[in-house]
Amino acid sequence: MDAKPAIPALPLHKGEVPLYMETGKAQPRSVSGTFRSLKWWAMVITLAWWHLGPFLRWSRGPGAPDQAILIDMPGRRAYFLFIEIWPQEIYYLTGILLISAILLFLMSAVAGRVWCGFICWQTVYTDLFVAIERLVIGDRSARIAFERQPMSGAKLARKAVINLAWLMISAACGIGFTLWFGDAFTQIKEIFTGEAGAATYAFIAILGGFCFLLAGYARERVCVYLCPYSRFQSAMFDEHSLIVTYEAWRGDPGGPARKGQSFEGRGHCVDCRSCVQACPTGIDIRKGNQLACIGCALCVDACNQVMDRYGLPRGLISYDSSFNIDSRGQGLSTRFRVIRPRTLIYGGIMALVASIMLFRLTTRPDVDVNVLHERAPLFVQMSDGSIRNGYVYKVLNMKAEDRSFKVKLVGVEGATIDVIGGETGAGEVEMQVARDSVGSFRVYVTVPAAKVTAKSMPVAFVLTGSSRDVRTETLFAGPDK
């Protein structure tokens, strides 16, 4: 007997079912097969990435962090391999997020809910937590019986072991999160020696707490009721997107059957409910596609095992496109079409955004310059009649080395340029800026009276000594003419 009634299909009309329906805890039965193996591999790869990714190194030269991917909050910088993103370049993060979102759309258009069923954090941790329950209590029927047992010392002890294991995994999940925000080797040492800051421990507690509650107790309710992605991703599907579907044309009319009996004149479904019992969200895929189906394909493995036992062809529940399922039903040939208008559009958008980012990255300067004209006073007339304007000249040195730049003024003849506290040069001055910092310089530009031909003359500062010259337009103010 199933412990959990099926979660109802997505209501087609408002008011058909309540917004939330408590259906009890799903107790999925373990299965073996291709998709189960893929899920184990997906779990190993995603968890390894989450926990070991921050330990990957990338040499950026002396003095620079060597963590391959690092979001350095105190240093207000993000590092992705060879890319270094400054706060004023937040649009790169926007680009990365946009590409990630479109990639998700592309994955959905090609392979259905492959993200939900195999890669999503909720799926991975829930799968791991269920595996621990299975290890401590047993498979589905043992767990159902265990839940029904009255509370006893032995039951309490086993629950404590499970919750303790969940807590440890959740803490590891929280720790894994913090390692992306500081040097992983230093962070891990500080966390375990109690030297980390309160914010680090708070993040571990918050993220670990969510992991514990969502994967341990909320489980499939997150996918059915909380996750917004499940609500709209079917909009990315078309007839060639892969989905998990019961092939009703072949399975119905089904019913119980004995091994070795003839299936002549009846459907191949033996109504064993193995597919329902294997389902982590507790639904019956034979009732059609449902919002609660996360596309994990465990029901495919479960049904294939049954088909093998009865000597029937596999694939009564298949992970295939609706086009192929219909074609098979009509005895036509099947095909898997990846190149289609929507996949081309998604791929095109990704390529466009990636190209723009790449172009910006390869052509971006390694300095940023900002010039502010002093307004009070706008200009000063010197004793020899020449006119002097003051500016605040800021240079952001985006390299991990101290650098020296030359700055000159163009646009007006005979101008001299002085840096307060620094050198005076007829044509240009030198400015030293420390690595990864902003150098702020007070600059005076003096122009002979005869050369000041207007109340406001366009001039430009030109900085040399970086990957390319940086020209910054501004104005030179003088008296009314």
Positions that interact with ligand SF4 (CB under 6 A): 244, 246, 251, 254, 269-275, 278-281, 283, 285-286, 293-299, 302-303, 306, 316-317
Question: Considering the complex, what minimum distance in angstroms separates the CB of residue 254 from ligand SF4?
Answer: 6
Instruction: State which residue, 131 or 460, has the beta carbon closest to ligand SF4.
Output: 131
| Type and span of the H or E element at 425 | strand 424-425
CB-nearer residue toward ligand SF4: 273 or 337: 273
Residue 21 CB, nearest approach to ligand SF4 (Å): 17
Which of residues 64 and 302 has its CB atom nearest to ligand SF4 in the complex?
302
**Nearer residue to ligand SF4 within complex by CB, 182 or 280:** 280
Q: Which residues of 288-311 are buried (b: 16+ CB within 10 A; e: fewer)?
A: ebbbbbbbbbbbbbbbbbbbeeee
Nearer CB in complex with ligand SF4: 117/182: 117
Cis link prior to 479 (omega < 30° from 0)?
no
| Sequence-distant (≥ 6) Cβ neighbours of residue 371 within 8 angstroms | 391, 392, 393, 394, 461, 472, 474
Please write down the long-range contacts of 56-61, taking CB distance under 8 Å and 24 or more positions apart: 58/82, 60/84, 60/400, 61/400, 61/401
Closest approach, Cβ 2 to ligand SF4, in A, equals: 11
Alpha-carbon distance of 325 to 73, in angstroms, equals 51
Which lies closer to ligand SF4 via its Cβ, residue 117 or residue 216? 117
Closer residue to ligand SF4, CB minimum distance, 272 or 475: 272
Distance CA 470, CA 406 (A): 11
Would you tell me the crossing angle of helices 34-52 and 298-310 to the nearest 10 degrees?
A: 150
Close Cβ partners of 343 (under 8 Å, ≥ 6 residues apart): 106, 109, 110
Residue 227 Cβ vs ligand SF4, minimum distance, rounded to whole Å: 13
Under 8 Å between Cβ of 374 and 392? yes
| CB of residue 325 to ligand SF4, shortest distance in Å | 14
The letter for the amino acid at 319 is Y
Nearer to ligand SF4, 182 or 254 (CB): 254
Cβ 144 to ligand SF4 shortest distance, Å: 18
Nearer to ligand SF4, 320 or 428 (CB): 320
- Measured CA distances, 6 to 243, 288, 372 (Å): 19, 12, 67
Question: Largest Cα–Cα distance in the chain?
Answer: 114
CB of 357 to ligand SF4, least distance (A): 35
Q: Cβ of residue 118: shortest distance to ligand SF4, in angstroms?
A: 10
Backbone angles phi, psi at 462, to 5 degrees: -120, 120
**What is the spatial distance between Cα 203 and Cα 225, in angstroms, rounded to a whole number?**
25
CB of 274 vs ligand SF4, minimal distance in Å: 4
Cβ nearer to ligand SF4, comparing 277 with 397: 277
Minimum distance of ligand SF4 from residue 307's CB (angstroms): 7
Secondary element (H or E) of residue 133? helix 121-136
H-assigned helices in 311-365? 322-329, 341-363
Pairing of strands 470-477, 242-246: unpaired
The full 3-state SS of 163-212, as one line of letters, equals: HHHHHHHHHHHHHHHHHHHCCHHHHHHHHHHCCCCHHHHHHHHHHHHHHH
Q: Which run of H or E residues covers position 148? A: helix 140-148
**C-beta of 123: minimal distance to ligand SF4 in Å?**
10
Residue number, 67 or 233, with CB nearest to ligand SF4: 233
